[in-house]
Structure formats: structure tokens, C-alpha cells
Structure 1
Amino acid sequence: MAWSVASSLDRVGHHRRSADWVAQLWRSPDARLLKLDADASFTTQADGTLRLVKPFVDHDPQRHLLLGLVEGAPVFAVQAVVDGEVRSLREVGGSLSDVERDIAAAATALVRWHQLEPQCPRCGGPTRVTDGGYARHCERCDEQHFPRTDPAVIVAVVDVDDRILLGRQASWGNRVSVLAGFVEAGESLEQTIHREIAEEVDVTLDRIRYFGSQPWSFPRSLMTGFFARASSTAVCVDADEIAWAGWFTREELAAQLEAGTIGLPGPSSIAHRLIATWRSEPTVW
């Protein structure tokens, strides 16, 4: 999952402001459309790839969202009735190619945003879709609005013996994961990390290293991943967000996974990638 490289989805930010240009792309012979249902789920082909269809109706700028160009070919998204068995990005993201994942993530985020904010958050007036779907314009106060992204941190905490701290919420069954939380108003990412880890498991940290990020459109988060070294190891869970947490060596984690006593996050998540990176190589500070 090449989240650290440039995306092959060209979002054509300078051109999509022209409604005529976007409409012309819709009529392009190589245009493709991803249909999503009201839950922002979609269908895949038998081989697991995205099911993209050719547009065949007249272009509707209020419904047809231009995601961008892939190797020059325009890709759109629309919320509509979807035939067949649908899957969410959370379910199938790990099996999609990098560019397909970018398409699905952009489509999911935009569809959910247009669902949630059809009116102006400033004055309550009606808004219209502009910029090919990446903005809404208020007809009452003339304000321009853009999709909001909620930043969150997700942190693989390790101790001086290179054990990893994993925990679970009460609703997760036997699945465990690294710890995460949303950035609060006025916080830096680093401040959020210290606060969240202290609140959830009462562990203090002395070093933080950036790992990578991932769009997580459930509904509109950006997960920023880090490794952090613990300066304390006594764990006291908050019992609100975290029901249980504990330290694992690589051997202990492998044994419990093989026995089926615990499970890990799905392969489409940055949580999975953080844990997999720790399992495959020593944490270097």
C-alpha cells in the first residue's frame, strides 16, 4: 500500500472549476463512473477490482462528482441505486490497487460530505455543488465551502524492550489494535499523542517518530500514524474507550495469533501496517 508516494489520481484542481470542462470530460469515450449507495458502499468485479461503468445519462453537475483523471481518463462518482453485492472501503481497501484505493477513498469522502452538509454551515442557506464536486457554494451568503477532514493520530507505542502496546474496545471481541484518538481544538499532533496515550492507558512517552498517514473516510478522518517510545510501562486503562490493554513481544503476538485468541485490524488500515512494520523490523530510534 504505497501511501508514501504521489497518487496516480490527478484531481485536476485548476481545471475542475470550469463546469463546461467537467461536462466535456463526462462525455469522453474513456470516462468511467463509480456508483455508491447511501452508505457509500460499492460493488467490485469478480477479480476484486472496482466496478467502474461508462456514463450513459446526461451530465448532472449536482450529482456527478469528478474525482480526477487516471492516465488521462476521467473518473466520476455518483450516489445512486447500486445493483449487486456491495462492499465498503473498509472491507475491500486492502485488496484494491493503490490507484483504486485512491478512487474509492475520494468517492467515499465526497459522497458522505455532500450527504451531511447540503446546507450552508454559516447561514443555513441552500448550497450548490461546484468545482466538479469538491466544493459547495451558498446561494444566500455567497460563502464557498469545502469538504472537512478531521485529523486523528494512531500510535504504535513500544517500550525500551521493543514490546508493543495493544488494546481493545469492549465491542471489538478478541481484536486488538494500536491506540488512536482525534485531535482536539488547539492541539498539535504531538500534544494529541501524549494526551491520548495518557488518557487511555496512563502511559507516558519520551520519543515520537512519524510513520505515515491514511485517509479514512468513516466519515471523514485523516489518520496520522506514529511510533512512540514509552517512558513508563504500568498500564491503567480508562475503562471508557479502552477495555483492556497489554504489552506483547513479537513471539507472544505470533503465538496468540496462531492460537486464534486475538485478531488484528484489517489489511486496509494503517493500524495493520504499523503493527506489521513493528513485527518485521526492530524499532530504531
Structure 2
Amino acid sequence: MKLAESVTFGGSGLDRAAELRSQPEALAGLRAGACVLPIWRGKPLLDAESRAPVFLAADHAVFAHEGPEVFLGRDEGAARFACDISAWEPQGDTDSVGQFTDPSEQRHPELPSGQVFGELRGSMVRLTPRAAEMAATAKAILEWHRSHRFCARCGGESVVSQAGWQRDCPACGGHHFPRTDPVVIMLITEGNSVLMGRSHVWPEGMYSLLAGFVEPGECIEAAVRREVFEESGVRVGRVDYLASQPWPFPNSLMFGCHGHATSRDITVDPAEIEDAQWVTREAMVEALAGNDPRLKPARPGSIARFLIENWLADTLD
């Protein structure tokens, strides 16, 4: 697919400078004058108006609540880091933090009112490719550190190493690496229609492409066929890979595929999804224009929306 890497969070050419991860002295020198992106419970610091990620000086007072840190790489030659400050306790209601829809914003007392911790999902379409890649990388790896503090081999508490790209266990010597979960998301078509489904937990009226995790020992094409049949009862024949998207909610890599249905009857598994339906091109155009209150397509910035729009534009090849 010619436009594959233009999807949100697609490659921006960031120099990750992986060779520096094992050089703590060199990194310490870089960090002294570097800019650091604070992340609070998965939410990056954003400019309230532009929604651009806000990098701060490494010695800023915000980092008094410092947690794990990761070296993101070099942005136009300048070192960039991200740091988890989830130990900070903000005032106000935080019940929506971590939910599928989180409209809340948190303001730190050491920062200007125009800088807030906001949900990345709601701001992703306003980011430059470089900002999106750095924010997605920071969110994904720091979320991994938050949920993988203990060694999977012996249960001992592990420590951060390799500039945030590894955890080591002092008790048994085990090494642990950031987790990325492969997920297939599929544009399933039959004639002039595309198969859309909705999860039980999504906002009312929201429909998207079917998706599911790739199982051990399973190829992408087989996962597409299995997931579609399990969720909707629709059989799929030919499967073509289209594009991928890092999806840091919390740590997936989405493999976008085009599947050609060989059956049309839908039998929903209620344990998997709430509903599924075939939607014609004409109806999808109306839905994207906001003219169908019963059908709210996947949000802009998601690979589902990206694939749907390219299907409508006949630019999948």
C-alpha cells in the first residue's frame, strides 16, 4: 500500500540511537541538556491549545515525582527523553483516567495553566508525525514499565536498564524486554459493502473494523480469518496486508489487512462483540460526513478510519 506509513503513529524517521542505550555515561551527558516529556498515568504533557507534546528541561520541578525514564532518541540531533511521573497525585476527580473515553485533563501546580496532561487518543490527529512517534513510544514503553515491575521468572522486583528499553532482575539475572502485542484489524469487504462491528464498551453508535490478537503459532492471514469468523460468523478467503500502526493503548502493533468475504450471513458472538453489520460505500460516505446518527465510524487517526477512507478513495493498492 503506497500510503501505508502515512497512518498516525507511522514512521517519522526518528533516530532512536539504539547504540547509546548501553552507554550510561554518554546518556548522562546528553540528558543534562536534553528535553524530557513527562507522562502521567499514560497521559503525556500537552499544550492545551495546539495539543503538541511539551518537553521540559531535565531539571524541572515536575520531575520531583520521577519514575522510570526512557531515552527516545535524537530529534534533529537533539536528545529526547520521557519520564513517568505517575506518583504525583492531582487534585480533582480522576475516575475517567484509563477509560476508553477520558475527557479529563490534569494540571500540575508547577506548570502554566496552558499545559495539561491529556489523553493521547483524543489529540493524535493534531500531532506532527515526529511528535506522534515520540509520544506513542513514550506512552507504550512507560506503561510497560508500570505493569511489569516484577520478574516473570522468580517474582523479584526488577530494575530499569538499557536507557529504559530493558528490565533486569537482580535476584535471578533475568532480562525482560518491552512487550508489543500483534493485533490484526481487517477491512472485510463483499461487493460494495464493508463489515463493521461494535464493542460492548464503546460510545453509543460507534462502529469500527473487526480486530483481534494474533495467537502464538498463527500467521497474520490465519488470524484474520479466525477472528472474523469467531466474532461475526463471516468466512474470509483471500487476505492482503495493507499497513501497520503502533497503537500505544497500551502496547499493540496493528496489522491492517484487506479480507475478501466468501459468505455474507452474520452470526454475532455476544461474548466477543455487541453487533455487526454490512455497510455500503454510499452509507459509509454519509456516516463519515456525520449524516447518520446511528453509525459513528472509527475516530480519525485510527488505522480503522485510515483503511476505510482509503477503501472509499480506491487507494488501497
TM-score after normalising by structure 1: 0.91
Hey, what does 1:247 align to over in structure 2? 278
2: CA distance, partners of 1:39 / 1:267: 20
- Does structure 2 retain, via aligned residues, the 8 Å contact 1:265–1:271? yes
Gapped regions of structure 1 (runs ≥ 5): none
Hey, what does 1:266 align to over in structure 2? 299
| 1:2 has 2:6 as partner | yes
- C-alpha distance after superposition, 1:9-30 (max 9, x if no partner): 21111122111111111013xx
1: CA distance, partners of 2:161 / 2:315: 48
Give the AA of the match of 2:31: W
1: CA distance, partners of 2:201 / 2:208: 13
- Does structure 2 retain, via aligned residues, the 8 Å contact 1:40–1:112? no
2: CA distance, partners of 1:212 / 1:122: 35
Hey, what does 1:162 align to over in structure 2? 192
TM-score after normalising by structure 2: 0.82
**Residue correspondences, number:** 281
| 1:104 has 2:107 as partner | no
**131-140 vs 249-258, which moves further:** 249-258
Identity across the alignment (%): 33
Pairwise mapping of residues 6-155 of structure 1 onto structure 2 (< 5 A)?
6-28=11-33, 31-56=34-59, 63-80=68-85, 81=88, 83=108, 84-155=115-186
| 1:177 has 2:198 as partner | no
- C-alpha distance after superposition, 1:132-181 (max 9, x if no partner): 1111111111122110111110001001x231111112332101100000
2: CA distance, partners of 1:245 / 1:180: 12
Distance 1:45-1:26 versus aligned 2 partners, 3 A rule: farther
1: CA distance, partners of 2:254 / 2:241: 12
2: CA distance, partners of 1:126 / 1:36: 22
Gapped regions of structure 2 (runs ≥ 5): 89-106, 109-114
- Does structure 1 retain, via aligned residues, the 8 Å contact 2:186–2:209? yes
**143-152 vs 247-256, which moves further:** 247-256
2: CA distance, partners of 1:264 / 1:180: 14
1: CA distance, partners of 2:54 / 2:11: 23
- Does structure 1 retain, via aligned residues, the 8 Å contact 2:45–2:118? yes
1: CA distance, partners of 2:148 / 2:224: 30
| 1:223 has 2:223 as partner | no
2: CA distance, partners of 1:165 / 1:152: 18
What is the root-mean-square deviation in Å for CA atoms of aligned residues?
A: 2.2
